[in-house]
Amino acid sequence: MLLTSEELAVWRMLQRAQVRIATRLEADLLRAHDLALPCYEVLARLAEAPGRRLRMNDLAHQVLLSRSGLTRLIDRLQRDGLVSREACESDARGLFAVLTDAGQARLEQARPTYQGAIREHFLGPLGEEDVQSCRRLLAKLGVV
């Protein structure tokens, strides 16, 4: 037996916890702002980036999507006017996804919901100290 039943249970708990938090988070965002989770994450990443812009490839990695997946997602966000595409001067192959003012505004509306949900469903139940433990454990898994 490679794994004890308790070890297996821990892995199952991890899956369940992540899905549970993400599901509730997305439900809150959809209800209050009609915004799916990946959409929010794209907006948030762009807002943090210098010039509110990111190369498609980099953005895809940050939000855990394939390049093609991100292409479609940006298509939708662009259609809604939250994001625009701009050419990259230094590399004619490259494109920037750029956060528009409307996108920024939409993000700022949704941010309290997003961050509140993470507090409520994740950080809150843990408490400050355990969040640090959690961070340490995740770092051990090689996650940046």
| Choice from 12, 16, 20, 72 touching DNA (CB under 7 A) | 72
State which residue, 12 or 85, has the beta carbon closest to its own copies: 12
State which residue, 37 or 123, has the beta carbon closest to DNA: 37
Whether the CB-CB separation of 83 and 99 falls below 8 Å is answered with yes
User: 34: phi > 0 → left, psi -120 to 50 → alpha, else beta; which?
Assistant: left
Q: Which residues touch 37 (CB under 8 Å, ≥6 apart)?
A: 22, 25, 26, 29
State which residue, 47 or 56, has the beta carbon closest to DNA: 56
79 contacts DNA (rule: CB under 7 A): no
Site string for its own copies, 99-138 (x = CB under 8 A): ------------xx--xx-xx-xxx-xxx--xx-xxx-xx
Number of H helices, E strands in the chain: 7, 3
Query: Cα(93)–Cα(57) distance, rounded to whole angstroms?
Result: 11
CA nearest neighbour of 38 among 21, 62, 3, 15: 62
CB of 7 to its own copies, least distance (A): 6
86 contacts its own copies (rule: CB under 8 A): no
State which residue, 22 or 118, has the beta carbon closest to DNA: 22
How far is residue 18 from each of residues 21, 24, 45, 90, 121, measured CA to CA in Å? 5, 10, 20, 39, 10
Residues that bind its own copies (CB under 8 A): 2-3, 6-11, 13-22, 64, 111-112, 115-116, 118-119, 121-123, 125-127, 130-131, 133-135, 137-144
Residues that bind DNA (CB under 7 A): 36, 38, 55-57, 60, 64-76, 85, 88, 91-95
